[in-house]
């Protein structure tokens, strides 16, 4: 396969830069505690300084993998498939989700929403970032809004993003892991004063699992 042919397949979403895939327990948000198969797609230019998977940023470090192979492997483990990154919406998610849905599984995505929404999703977890704001389409279709609280200013940003999602979207505040001891008391206080919000924790880190 020539480089051009490979790039054409990547552009069509038939090849994706697969960083890693693993079966574990969803640790965050609405589906925490649920067994799920994670597919982590490489490539991200949002650039969160506190990102805990910076090795996912450069797509060229991760091998272009046929979506058919990703699907074939994923459905062996779970009927809930979570696509994460990196930023998966940098790529066309249509072929991947079409093949997953044909297998009868649930498709979830974790995204910053910074790119055009593609793919067919049963659950969209939107985690917006200040550096590159979500598109209106992703915000309106999000099932849950998960705002990361690194400092006090992030509460204001969370409220701004909450005005952009649909009325059924579940609202979460989650402490950035390295700041959890400092920010958790503030989050608890904020949620008690503003009960439209819920607290999300990275429970998988407490469980010491991926």
Q: Residue positions in the annotated binding site? A: 25-27, 40, 44, 48, 50-52, 84, 86, 127-129, 210
Please state, in angstroms and rounded to a whole number, the distance separating the CA atoms of residues 20 and 191: 34
Binding residues for S-adenosyl-L-methionine: 50-52, 86, 127-129
Nearest to 142 by CA among 102, 169, 107, 108: 169
Q: Which residues are annotated as a binding site for substrate?
A: 25-27, 40, 84, 210
Query: In which element (H, E) is residue 149 found?
Result: strand 144-149
Give the whole-angstrom CA distance, residue 83 versus residue 205: 19
At residue 45, the 3 state secondary structure works out as coil
Binding annotation for [4Fe-4S] cluster: 44, 48, 51
CA separation for the pair 107, 95 (Å, rounded): 12
């Amino acid at each position: 396969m020539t480089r051009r042919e490979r790039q054409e397949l990547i552009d069509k979403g038939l090849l994706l830069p697969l960083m890693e895939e693993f079966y574990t327990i969803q640790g965050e948000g609405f589906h925490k505690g649920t067994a799920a198969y994670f597919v982590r797609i490489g490539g991200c230019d949002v650039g969160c300084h506190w990102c805990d998977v910076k090795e996912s940023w450069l797509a060229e470090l991760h091998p272009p993998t046929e979506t058919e192979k990703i699907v074939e492997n994923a459905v062996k483990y779970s009927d809930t498939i979570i696509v994460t990154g990196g930023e998966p919406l940098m790529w066309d998610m249509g072929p991947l989700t079409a093949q997953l849905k044909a297998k009868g599984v649930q498709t979830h995505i974790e995204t910053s929403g910074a790119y055009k929404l593609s793919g067919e999703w049963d659950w969209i977890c939107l985690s917006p970032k200040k550096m590159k704001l979500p598109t209106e389409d992703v915000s309106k279709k999000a099932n849950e809004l998960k705002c990361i609280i690194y400092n006090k200013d992030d509460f204001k940003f969370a409220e701004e993003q909450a005005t952009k999602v649909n009325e059924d979207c579940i609202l979460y505040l989650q402490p950035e892991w390295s700041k959890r001891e400092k920010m958790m008391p503030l989050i608890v206080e904020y949620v008690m004063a503003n009960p439209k919000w819920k607290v999300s924790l990275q429970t998988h880190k407490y469980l010491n699992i991926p």
